[in-house]
């Protein structure tokens, strides 16, 4: 209890900033279905519902969609299942079966629960940035960076939509934070393991997040220049990141040919439309 009080006492200003910013975002979450030119929300929601349908009918976790990584789709399916089970156990006056109830739920409810999760994850991302700046720079920089993020239009939109981009922001914040930690102490196997897990899951979210490997490679190069060869760290990083990727996206192995075809299609689309999002 005392530690919780101390936490709020030490971080009251960032909490106030996040709460104030939330006042402008929460009403938008309940606003409406996605706008016409935003296809990410329908893709994500429909993919999450398809996974639940496949689990029910075929006992399969196959998302049948590899243009995106599978991790955010599985999280979406989990959130959708929480909504369905909550209504089944607590808001089911006609004692409908689980299947019948799932079809009776309005589609907008699935959007709302995933938007709420996006909103929470984006706020957590800002807190990570705040803590990163506070630890590595100073308190003023931390507060300033937090305010800039809270009032940015991009943050507002990502906090009120169910897309994969909020995951990208979250993982970016974690990667930067642990890059600073590893640059300070590269012998910390715990931090290397966390970095590797974040790297693997982030690639299973957006494929171009493999670029998150650049900070750790830079740190490795500096160690090698100093006549060090951290082979244990390299083995740990490689094995855990690959394991995290395949656990988060198992059907990239099970349906390997479909996965490769999707990657080829994404690559061709990116080449024919320079600047397009290739994830």
Q: How far apart are CA 273 and CA 176, in angstroms?
A: 30
Half-sphere exposure of 222 (CA within 13 A, CB side): 10
Over residues 182-206, the pLDDT tens digits come to 999 998 999 999 999 999 999 999 9
Over residues 41-71, the pLDDT tens digits come to 888 999 999 999 999 888 888 888 788 899 9
Q: What is the mean pLDDT of residues 102-126?
A: 92
Question: Is the predicted pLDDT of residue 211 greater than 70, yes or no?
Answer: yes
Residue 159, H or E segment: none
pLDDT at 279: 45
Q: Compute the mean pLDDT over every residue in the chain, rounded to the nearest whole number.
A: 88
**Nearest CA among 111, 44, 109, 108 for reference residue 71:** 44
Q: How far apart are CA 146 and CA 151, in angstroms?
A: 9
| Structure tokens given for 228 | 């060090």
Model confidence at 34, pLDDT cuts 50, 70, 90, reads: low
Question: Is the predicted pLDDT of residue 2 greater than 50, yes or no?
Answer: yes
Q: How far apart are CA 30 and CA 34, in angstroms?
A: 11
Q: What is the mean pLDDT of residues 244-249?
A: 95
Question: Is the predicted pLDDT of residue 277 greater than 60, yes or no?
Answer: no
Q: Which residue has the higher pLDDT, 29 or 272?
A: 29
| Structure tokens given for 209 | 């997040």
Q: Which of 89-98, 111-120, 262-271 has the lowest mean pLDDT?
A: 262-271
Task: Report CA-CA distances (Å) from 34 to 70, 113, 150.
Answer: 21, 14, 22
Question: Is the predicted pLDDT of residue 37 greater than 70, yes or no?
Answer: no
pLDDT at 32: 62
Model confidence at 3, pLDDT cuts 50, 70, 90, reads: confident
Over residues 145-164, the pLDDT tens digits come to 999 999 998 888 888 888 89
| CB count in 10 Å sphere of residue 220 | 19
Model confidence at 276, pLDDT cuts 50, 70, 90, reads: low
Over the Cα atoms of the chain, what is R_g? 21
Task: Report CA-CA distances (Å) from 265 to 168, 174, 244.
Answer: 21, 30, 24
Model confidence at 278, pLDDT cuts 50, 70, 90, reads: very low
pLDDT at 260: 84
Under 8 Å between Cβ of 195 and 175: yes
| CB count in 10 Å sphere of residue 134 | 19
pLDDT at 67: 82
Residue 101, H or E segment: helix 98-104
Secondary structure string (H, E, C) spanning 176-207: HHHHHHHHHCCCCHHHHHHHHHHHHHHHCCCH
């Amino acid at each position: 209890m005392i530690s919780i009080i101390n936490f709020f006492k030490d971080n009251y200003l960032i909490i106030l900033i996040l709460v104030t910013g939330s006042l402008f975002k929460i009403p938008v979450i309940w606003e409406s279905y996605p706008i016409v030119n935003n296809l990410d929300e329908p893709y994500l929601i429909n993919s999450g519902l398809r996974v639940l349908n496949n689990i029910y009918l075929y006992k399969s976790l196959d998302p049948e969609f590899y243009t995106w990584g599978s991790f955010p789709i599985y999280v979406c399916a989990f959130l959708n299942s929480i909504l369905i089970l909550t209504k089944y156990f607590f808001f089911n006056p006609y004692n409908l079966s689980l299947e019948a109830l799932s079809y009776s739920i309005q589609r907008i409810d699935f959007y709302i629960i995933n938007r709420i999760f996006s909103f929470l994850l984006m706020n957590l991302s800002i807190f990570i940035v705040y803590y990163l700046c506070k630890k590595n720079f100073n308190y003023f920089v931390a507060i300033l960076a937090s305010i800039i993020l809270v009032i940015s239009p991009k943050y507002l939109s990502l906090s009120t939509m169910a897309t994969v981009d909020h995951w990208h922001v979250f993982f970016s914040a974690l990667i930067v934070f642990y890059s600073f930690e590893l640059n300070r102490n590269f012998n910390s196997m715990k931090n290397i393991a966390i970095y590797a897990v974040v790297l693997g899951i982030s690639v299973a979210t957006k494929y171009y997040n493999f670029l998150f490997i650049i900070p750790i490679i830079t740190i490795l190069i500096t160690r090698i220049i100093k006549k060090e060869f951290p082979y244990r760290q390299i083995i740990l990083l490689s094995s855990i990141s690959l394991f995290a990727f395949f656990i988060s996206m198992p059907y990239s192995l099970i349906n390997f040919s479909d996965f490769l075809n999707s990657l080829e299609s994404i690559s061709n689309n990116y080449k024919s439309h320079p600047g397009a999002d290739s994830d």
